Amino acid sequence: MLFVIPYPVIDPVLVDIGPFPIRWYALAYVAGIVLGWFYMKRLCAADRLWGAVRHPTPVSVDDLVVYVALGIVLGGRLGYVLFYNFSYYVSHPLEIVAAWNGGMAFHGGLIGTAIGMWIFARRAGVGFLSVADGVAAVVPIGLFLGRIANFIKPELWGRETDVPWAMVFPGAGPDPRHPSQLYEAGLEGIGLFVLLAVAIRLGALKRPGLSTGLFTAGYALARIVSEFFRQPDAQLGFLFGGATMGMLLSLPLLAIGLGLVAYALRGRRRPAALA
């Protein structure tokens, strides 16, 4: 009936060290944070990219990564609990801390990261938007790795389809589905990384809020498009009008992102002291 690409079954556990399994999922988070830390240090060391805007120093990025990592993990887990499976966790409160069983939400991680950046900005004496602009440039690295980990697990698979590149995912029934995790890896990871890298080379960091706005709006659009191919979470299903929770949570992000872009591109640049 159609050409179905065999799903490349990969053990979700990379290696077992005694009773402690090292999973690809956890490794994706660690690798994303480490690579993001390295890339942001490079960006912060290139003063020419920032112009007169006061920005984090390469040394201070070592502290920033701690705040961001905590924001990602705590915010991502709490976001999943509140937005995607609240009724279950109300009945099983001890499961809230069992993040190793899966269940992280990008939108919650974004809120947690924003709080961490705000605390760091106040302590480091730099503008919140300049911190956010640097972090926005590196987040697509983690998004790419995270979506690849979703594919390996496998989880968050796509809707049923007859496209030639469809796959039959273990645990998703006998019908071929979109490999939506790979769509998201391409759009949210590679696509956003390239967009922001080009924007930065064209001077985006000299306008506080521009990189953050491009990332926020770009992610929202990429997520909304991907949701048309991704199977909704079983406990939520489709919401009104065929929308999904991912779509609804992305709409405020789109509005915020467009607002930040407009703010950054207004007639004049912000004075360095306020950036």
Secondary structure (DSSP) of 46-115 = -GGGTTT-----TTTHHHHHHHHHHHHHHHHHHHHHHHT-HHHHHH-GGGGG-GGG----HHHHHHHHHH
Cα-based distances in Å from 77 to 86, 99, 166? 11, 7, 30
pLDDT at 268: 54
Instruction: Work out the pLDDT band at 272, boundaries 50, 70, 90.
Output: very low
pLDDT tens sequence across 111-160 = 999 999 999 999 999 999 999 999 999 999 999 999 999 999 898 999 99
What does 139-184 look like in DSSP terms, one character per residue? HHHHHHHHHHHHHHTT-S-B-B---TT-B--TTS-SS-B--HHHHH
pLDDT at 2: 53
pLDDT at 21: 78
Whether 147 has a binding-site annotation, put simply, is yes
What percent of the chain lies above the pLDDT cut of 70? 94
What does pTM read for this prediction?
0.86
Mean pLDDT of 177-181: 96
Return mean pLDDT, the chain.
89
Instruction: Work out the pLDDT band at 273, boundaries 50, 70, 90.
Output: very low
pLDDT at 3: 60
